[in-house]
Amino acid sequence: MDWLIIAVLLLVAFGGVAYVIPSKFQRRVSQLRLEARRRGVFTSSSTIPDLDADAEDRVTSGGKVRQRGDLCVVYDLQYSSAPQNPPVWQLMRYKKSQLPIPGWLLRDDQLSGVQLSDASYWGLVAANIADMPRTCKSVVSHEAGVSWIGIESKDSVEKGTFLAELTSSLESLCELNLSINDVNTDDD
């Protein structure tokens, strides 16, 4: 009987320790975020509303509206030089939207520094978004740079393609916004 009690206590002790040890995927994500910081891409977290949530997920059984959101990781790349009037917008993944890019919705009509009717600009943005990791929930262009907001998928993180795809797309968006900013300041 003493051996049984000792065995149970050991299982409880080692089980608790094993529970707090990070998994292989968690260690890989940690290394990925450190590498991103070395490349000048800062990480944080944010909750993003799920615009494609089912009706059952948007309303409780009692009829109360609830906001469905996903806890996401933000990868933010700052501009190399401070632009005067960069394009500012936030796109959110939404299957039913067609403007400015099919499958993406302009959030809260936040738009400055570029026109919604500028098809060539939005075409280039769409191409950059298509090259980003597929688990992207939102893309933001702000005064200081551009951000990818989404979930680090196990497949892309383990293949090692996640950070390369992400940084390449963010750098291209930064260059695009800086070139648009240069054109807009030349016109002034």
The tens-digit pLDDT sequence of the chain (188 residues) is 788 888 888 777 777 777 788 888 999 999 999 999 999 999 999 999 888 777 777 777 787 877 778 899 999 999 998 888 899 999 999 999 888 999 999 987 679 999 989 999 999 999 999 999 889 999 999 999 999 999 998 888 888 889 999 999 999 999 999 998 776 666 55
Q: Is 157 a member of any domain?
A: yes
**pLDDT reported for residue 99:** 83
**pLDDT reported for residue 70:** 86
Q: Which residue has the tokens 């490349």?
A: 39
Residues in the chain: 188
Measured CA to CA, the distance from residue 143 to residue 114 in angstroms comes to 13
Q: Is 54 a member of any domain?
A: yes
Cα 118-124-127 angle, rounded to 5 deg: 140
Q: Is 2 a member of any domain?
A: no
Q: Is 5 a member of any domain?
A: no
Residue 47 token pair: 């909750």
Domain limits at 38? 23-187
CA quadruple 40, 152, 129, 131: dihedral, nearest 10: 90
**pLDDT reported for residue 154:** 87
Q: Is 39 a member of any domain?
A: yes
Of the CA atoms within 13 Å of residue 58, those in its CB half-sphere come to: 7
Q: Is 153 a member of any domain?
A: yes
Q: What is the tally of structural domains in the chain?
A: 1
